[in-house]
Amino acid sequence: MIGILAEWGAVTPTELGWLALIAFVAGMVRGFSGFALSAMVMATAVLILPPVALIPICWWLEMCASVLMMRGGWADADRRVALGLVLTSAIGVPFGLSLTMAVSPDTSRIIALGLLITLAALQLARIRMAFLATNPGLYGAGFTAGIATGIAGVGGMVVALYVLAREAPARQMRGSLVLFLFGGSVTSMATLLYFGVMDWTAVQRGLILAPAVALGVLLGQRLFIPRLEQYYKPFCLTLLLALAALSLIRTLA
């Protein structure tokens, strides 16, 4: 069975096993924090597949997670902010995809990991930028998130940095990210199809890995309890920073 699934996904059985494990862990973090699924996949699975191949896979994984988390996200989110981020992000995605497809896989991998490390470090350092709390900051963050999604599938990290600048409660931040990622997935599908990135192989890989993500999300949601909310962001950012740094070192070696 594993051999058949691996053949459908155009990977080896060993690679499929690692991808499924990565999807499960990333799903668990997503269920707990509301973001970081694509960022975790990009930070680790980039050693198996190039970023341009991972981006459409992340679309399926994000959509699976968003469907499972949508009910709570809608209730907790700042919907005005989430809508503004979704619309401006949709404009930025084509720019990011153009850049990803214009450079070599290694260069794209380095850009993706470097971007992830920078965003994680800024958030972990609790750097707040007052400009981001304004309307221009909202639209600029959304546009930048779209570019980050096109390059590395880590637009959620940019949005998380924006929400941090607004000093939103953990539950509202989580809800806004869930709503943004759901809306962003809907709008980005057209772009992925236009650029030819969402091919049949990507669809098969996404569907094969979706059950692992779903299981992880369900487990992660059970861990999101009031007494643990204060720890969720530092945990996720530290983990992402470590994984991205390790992947970058291996890429440059």
HEC assignment per residue over 168-203: CCHHHHHHHHHHHHHHHHHHHHHHHHHCCCCCHHHH
C-alpha radius of gyration, the chain, whole number: 17
User: Which distant-in-sequence residues (6+ apart) come within 8 Å of 2 by Cβ?
Assistant: 13, 16, 17
Residues 6 or more apart whose CB falls under 8 angstroms from that of 229 comprise 170, 171
Ranges under pLDDT 50 in the chain: none
Q: How far apart are CA 233 and CA 77, in angstroms?
A: 17
Tokens read off for 174: 């989580």
Decide: 204 and 8 in contact? Cβ < 8 Å. yes
Q: Measuring CA to CA, which residue among 16, 72, 79, 46 is closest to residue 217?
A: 72
Instruction: Compute how many other C-beta atoms are within 10 angstroms of the C-beta atom of residue 160.
Output: 29
Q: Are 99 and 114 in contact (CB under 8 A)?
A: no
Q: For residues 125, 240, 77 and 27, what is the CA-based torsion angle, rounded to 10 degrees?
A: -160
- pTM higher than 0.85, yes or no? no
**DSSP category for residue 83:** H
